[in-house]
Structure 1
Amino acid sequence: MAYDVIVIGSGPGGYVAAIRASQLGFKTAVVERESLGGICLNWGCIPTKALLKTAQVYEYTQHSKDYGITVADAKVDFDAVIKRSRGVADKMSRGVQFLMKKNKIDVIMGNGKLKSKGQVEVTDKDGKATVYDAKHIILATGARARELPNLKIDGKNVIGYRQAMVLPQQPKSMIVVGSGAIGVEFAYFYATLGTKVTIVEFLPRIVPVEDEDISKELEKIYKKKGIEIMTNASVEAVEATGNGVKAKVKTQTGEVTLEADVVLSAVGIAANIENIGLEQLGIKTDKGRVVVDKYYQTNVPGVYAIGDMVPGQALAHVASKEGIVCVEAIAYNEKKYAHKPATIDYMNIPGCTYCAPEIASVGYTEKAAKEAGYEVKVGKFPFSASGKASAAGATEGFVKVIFDAKYGEWLGTHMIGANVTEIIAETVVARKLETTYQEVLDSIHPHPTMSESVKDAIEVAYGEAIHL
């Protein structure tokens, strides 16, 4: 019952940390209360992408004549759509099971919590508690949907993202509260399948963490799709009716009442830091997150935390990298690893939203760069001028790049368009290597591709535009 490393939670932070620990020679176990792969794999990143792909395929059928193909009477089988999504998630979860076996990691099913320094107590589904010893304990318990006091998730009238993925039938109408990644992705999915969708956003613009130009473009495209958007608005109360719900929405011009079949609350996440023994060990928290150092150790030696439960972007790829850095730092201190790992630059984390068109960004927005004191050069290249985008029938959106005028440093990139989540990595790597604009322009980009639009945008920024 003794391990070198025990990881509590098997999401993209936890299972990756466990695999890296095993690779570095640690006897490792993972504690999981539900399904291997965590929320991302079972109820987040992966199954939602399956739903969004279905919406995209259905959208193709609606516009097939644009491609010279006639599709007669395409219909949505909502049960089959949900079934496919769950099948994709189940397959990926089984893949994590395989990885645990391959790397000789013990999987302990149950609720894990810190019992004392160096001890984890796991309570199984029958209520039996077992204590395990570990030299190092990594907390990776993730997060859940945040609830507003006046918007409690009851699973029927007000639902969260989990219920939105497995509704028994497609609603005719839906109010989506919040327009971050979760909100706009589900808005696209349901609206494309025929649900009347209204987005209610408290802040002045949708996808508020993105560059302002991205927000304007998505709002324009969504309104064209028939999605109603209310910004500077908040849902004050939700009342169940015989056929659905009535939502009282406060706007800048007064209060209005919206009616719909269901309300989807997509107002962010809350870290799972309760009932895992933090108080018992005196582990520090701040604003609902666990306080850690740059190698993810808490104030209690031997206890670490990664992923959505610590400060920083709550993204799967961030959690995975945090898990690797955490374990490699432990291994370095125990002379199992040759060098101390590089710490994460949280200003170079790509963010991706998989609505249609997709959104991808990294680094400074134009506004943030100016507020940070940079004099900037900005280039914007529309996909309407891209040969590949025109051939694909995907001319919505653009690539926007931001450079420091003084030294040519690549400050940020912001994209909205088809498959842009596949393109953003170029900026991430280039910024990591401290590449200048000239080095990118000197690197030949393949044609015709959507990705060459990054080069085209840089040419615009420096007054060298060829294709615009």
Structure 2
Amino acid sequence: MAEKSYDLIVIGSGPGGYVAAIRAAQLDMKVAVVEKAELGGVCLNWGCIPTKALLKSAQVFEYIKHASDYGISVKDAEVDFGGMVKRSRNTAGKMSKGIQFLFRKNKIDTLVGHGKIAGKGKVEVKGEDGKSQTYSAKHIILATGGHARELPSIPIDGEKIIEYRKAMVMDEQPKKMVVVGSGAIGCEFAYFYNTIGTEVTIVEYLPNIIPLEDEEVSKQLEKIYKKKGIKIMTNSEVTSVDTKGKSCKVKVKSKDGKESTIECDVVLSAVGVATNLKNVGVETVGLKLNDRKTHVEVDDFYRTNVEGVYAIGDIVKGPALAHVASAEGITCVEAIAGMNPEPLDYNNLPGCTYCWPEVASVGYTEKAAKEAGYDIRVGKFPFSASGKASAAGANEGFVKVIFDKKYGEWLGAHMIGANVTEMIAEVVAARKLETTGHEIIKSVHPHPTMSEAVMEAAAAAYEEVIHL
């Protein structure tokens, strides 16, 4: 069979890969994407989308449990765990089919199998039948993503010690669960399982849960989680898990040396993401990796040290987030096309955690701004003072904003509350446009809305707040 040639081959169809492919097709490139599993990668099939479907089910159940707070009487509501899982999987399936439609619309070929760079301008695709075919391309983008990181003390067996994929499709709801790690994945699953009746304990090695967030936000979420009945152990680590018996015996050691044992049905390991760089051709073409050999070294436009080879998403430096991978894919392709795109500003990338209440942030934390040498103004507005939040029965949390005193530059924003993952985009856009605090204060926000809290927090930073 004659070797097929493309302008661009993308290895991996996650939110970095498929977005890069579509943008390249829009720019009149002949494009193919290599994928061995479902189109859409982890995000659409096992991450962003199906987890949000589960979280929505939990939120609906929580609304029903508190229906009397809204003047509604509901009796005998029960969790259908299997039904929640089925809805989540159906949602993911529909989204994956949507990618298939977009590929057909943009005349993008899907090459089914495991892809690896086989040499200069060459990609080898090995199908499930073991047969391989080689394709040529002027440009190759590696977008192979990541998988659940595994700690030596917590070896994942897929039954009693699980990672996020299994947590989404368990046959039965566990009565007791220990979640190791309190980043976005850990906190989201802790909320989901706690809300539907599982006894949940979070073990976090660092001093605060969601440790990358501003400390005030972390402490607020910890307070809310404890109120919900979630047990939280910070400054602690899991040293071993005994899975020999019917239950798991989790040994936990705190920083002060105290040891304890927790019995549970299942342990969820949520300790981060490891990159997929094995058997993708890194050694074949001599791609330069970082010192720890965990990520591919790239420039501002995702060019590697090998001409014609690029890397985006989880396998390069920066946060392992779907929207970051998508932005990197677009920047990479537009640079290939000679459009001279602006490099991505990694200090203006929003982060979101979709527990309830939600958490969202962008830019410097208060601590980081001070460490960077800024003289700052900080404004904070609680949702307890928001009319919309009170009407919605969602007055937990706050908006916190940080400005540079000298020039009014918006350094960061940190939010915890209902729908703040939608609200953070205002801050991202405003920071991109170099908007100052005074300009936000004078930008009229609609009333009543949760978004008024952004304006009020900015006003608080300048001692002009009205509703506090």
Alignment TM-score > 0.5, same fold: yes
Residue number in structure 2 paired with 1:467: 467
Q: TM-score, normalised by structure 2?
A: 0.98
Q: Which amino acid aligns with 2:320?
A: A
Q: Which amino acid aligns with 1:131?
A: T
Residue number in structure 1 paired with 2:259: 255
Secondary structure (helix, strand or coil) at the match of 1:444 reads coil
Residue number in structure 2 paired with 1:328: 334
Among 308, 315, 318, which residue is 2:314 paired with?
308
Q: Supply the RMSD in Å over aligned alpha carbons.
A: 0.6
Residue number in structure 2 paired with 1:341: 341
Report how far residue 441 of structure 1 moved.
1.2
Residue number in structure 2 paired with 1:168: 171
Report how far residue 243 of structure 1 moved.
2.3
Residue number in structure 2 paired with 1:372: 372
Report how far residue 150 of structure 1 moved.
1.2
Report how far residue 203 of structure 1 moved.
0.4
User: Is residue 2:67 matched to residue 1:61?
Assistant: no
User: Is residue 2:125 matched to residue 1:135?
Assistant: no
Report how far residue 253 of structure 1 moved.
4.2
Q: Which amino acid aligns with 2:5?
A: A
Q: Which amino acid aligns with 2:47?
A: G
Report how far residue 244 of structure 1 moved.
1.7
Partners in 1 of 2:239 and 2:445 — Cα distance?
50
Report how far residue 220 of structure 1 moved.
0.1
User: Is residue 2:159 matched to residue 1:153?
Assistant: no
Per-residue CA deviations over 1:237-288 (Å, capped at 9, x if unaligned) read 0011432200111112411111000000000000101110101111011130
Partners in 1 of 2:106 and 2:154 — Cα distance?
43
Residue number in structure 1 paired with 2:442: 442
Report how far residue 157 of structure 1 moved.
1.1
The residue correspondences of 1:111-260 to structure 2 (distance < 5 A) are 111-251=114-254, 252-260=256-264
Per-residue CA deviations over 1:404-424 (Å, capped at 9, x if unaligned) read 011111000000000000000
Unaligned residue ranges in structure 2 (runs of 5+)? none
Residue number in structure 1 paired with 2:274: 270
Report how far residue 466 of structure 1 moved.
0.2
Q: Which amino acid aligns with 1:257?
A: T
Residue number in structure 1 paired with 2:385: 385
The residue correspondences of 1:388-403 to structure 2 (distance < 5 A) are 388-403=388-403
Residue number in structure 2 paired with 1:291: 297
Q: Which amino acid aligns with 1:74?
A: A
Partners in 2 of 1:233 and 1:258 — Cα distance?
13
The residue correspondences of 1:87-106 to structure 2 (distance < 5 A) are 87-106=90-109
Secondary structure (helix, strand or coil) at the match of 2:118 reads strand
State the number of aligned residues. Answer: 462
Secondary structure (helix, strand or coil) at the match of 2:267 reads strand
Q: TM-score, normalised by structure 1?
A: 0.98
Partners in 2 of 1:205 and 1:321 — Cα distance?
30
Per-residue CA deviations over 1:355-403 (Å, capped at 9, x if unaligned) read 0000000000000000000011001100000000000000000000000
Among 67, 87, 90, which residue is 1:84 paired with?
87
Question: Among the aligned pairs, what percent are the same residue?
Answer: 68
Report how far residue 53 of structure 1 moved.
0.1
Please list every run of at least 4 consecutive aligned residues from structure 1 whose deviation after the TM superposition is greater than 3 angstroms: none
Per-residue CA deviations over 1:172-225 (Å, capped at 9, x if unaligned) read 000000000000000000000000000000001100000000010000000000
Q: Which amino acid aligns with 2:160?
A: N
Secondary structure (helix, strand or coil) at the match of 1:369 reads helix
Partners in 1 of 2:244 and 2:154 — Cα distance?
16
Secondary structure (helix, strand or coil) at the match of 2:34 reads strand
Secondary structure (helix, strand or coil) at the match of 1:79 reads helix
Q: Which amino acid aligns with 2:190?
A: A
